[in-house]
């Protein structure tokens, strides 16, 4: 099977959770699956910007990204976070290749049109999965940071959930799994929803049952399903150990997002 795993939040920050995530990813790959990892690093970026005396701003879960913020994001995402993940996978014996979306022109971006303007925030306009497939052919796990190169030659900050969705679509993945620091999608009663239809997302957003960073995440889930990805699940990072059984067993943790 082909898996795209999006890793972010506490899964990148907490050493114990990170170890569990990379072991599960390595186990998936050793079982003969083709696995690609897409990562964020927003918490690390926010801290680095604060160290530089720059305050972070967000609109509907998306970071306002001026040129200076974009340059720092490229340094943090494609540098520190990406190479730390490659090292963590290597430590458990799994070869991995760290790349940005701009490498090999894998992911091309265009500026996201928003009101207010978010600066160097982009959306994926074109993909070339051959580079990912080449890494798979050599037994590696591609580790992809959420930056993509625009047709104007500028790098754009891409929401990592949107990047993971575009990656899963381009690779014709069987499954897209978001490893997160939340237990799943909570309904109006505060309970985690085990199943969520994409038809419910708009109403939940309208009534503010979902907000903030969950908005782009569920939008990414919806796009992936509508573009042919077979399964999409939001899974707490602490339950990453279930990943090797994802296709063969019933999983109780997290929220399964479905077309209907």
| pLDDT score for 10 | 80
The CATH architecture assigned to 2-258 reads 3-Layer(aba) Sandwich (3.40)
Residues 6+ apart with CB under 8 A from 150: 108, 109, 110, 111, 122, 156
Specify whether the CB–CB gap between 124 and 65 falls below 8 A.
no
- Does the pLDDT of residue 8 top 90, yes or no? no
| Residue 157 is labelled as binding a ligand | yes
> CA-CA distance, 180 to 112, in Å (whole number)?
24
| pTM of the predicted model as reported, rounded to 2 decimal places | 0.94
pLDDT at residue 65, rounded to an integer: 96
pLDDT in tens, 114-173: 999 999 999 999 999 999 999 999 999 999 999 999 999 999 999 999 999 999 999 999
User: Given a cut of 90, is residue 66 above it in pLDDT?
Assistant: yes
Q: What pLDDT does residue 144 have?
A: 98
Say yes or no to pLDDT of 51 above 80: yes
- Rounded Cα gap, residues 78 and 87, in angstroms: 13
Q: What is the pLDDT of residues 172-205, one digit of tens each?
A: 999 999 999 889 999 989 999 999 999 999 889 8
pLDDT tens, position by position, 207-255? 889 988 888 899 999 999 999 999 999 999 999 999 988 877 778 899 9
The confidence score (pLDDT) of residue 54 equals 95
Domain extent listing, the chain = 2-258
Is 41 annotated as belonging to a binding site?
Answer: yes
Task: Return the pLDDT at 101.
Answer: 94
Mean pLDDT, rounded, for 102-116? 95
Q: How far apart, in whole angstroms, are the C-alpha atoms of residue 55 and residue 258?
A: 37
């Amino acid at each position: 099977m082909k898996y795209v795993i999006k890793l972010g939040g506490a899964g990148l920050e907490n050493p114990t959770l990170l170890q569990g995530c990379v072991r599960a990813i390595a186990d998936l790959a050793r079982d003969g699956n083709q696995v690609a990892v897409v990562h964020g690093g927003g918490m690390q970026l926010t801290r680095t910007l604060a160290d530089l005396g720059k305050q972070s701003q967000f609109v509907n879960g998306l970071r306002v990204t001026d040129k200076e913020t974009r340059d720092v994001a490229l340094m943090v995402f494609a540098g520190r976070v990406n190479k730390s993940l490659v090292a963590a996978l290597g430590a458990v014996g799994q070869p991995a290749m760290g790349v940005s979306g701009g490498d090999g022109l894998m992911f091309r971006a265009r500026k996201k049109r928003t009101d207010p303007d978010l600066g160097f925030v982009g959306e994926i306009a074109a993909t070339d999965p051959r580079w990912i497939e080449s890494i798979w052919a050599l037994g590696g796990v591609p580790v992809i940071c959420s930056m993509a190169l625009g047709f104007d030659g500028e790098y754009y900050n891409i929401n990592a959930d949107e990047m993971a969705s575009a990656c899963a679509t381009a690779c014709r993945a069987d499954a897209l799994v978001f490893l997160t620091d939340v237990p799943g999608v909570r309904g109006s009663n505060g309970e985690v929803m085990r199943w969520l239809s994409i038809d419910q997302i708009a109403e939940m957003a309208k009534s503010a049952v979902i907000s903030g960073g969950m908005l782009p995440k569920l939008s990414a889930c919806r796009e992936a399903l509508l573009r042919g990805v077979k399964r999409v699940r939001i899974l707490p990072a602490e339950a990453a150990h279930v990943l090797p059984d994802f296709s063969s067993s019933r999983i109780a943790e997290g929220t399964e997002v479905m077309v209907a």
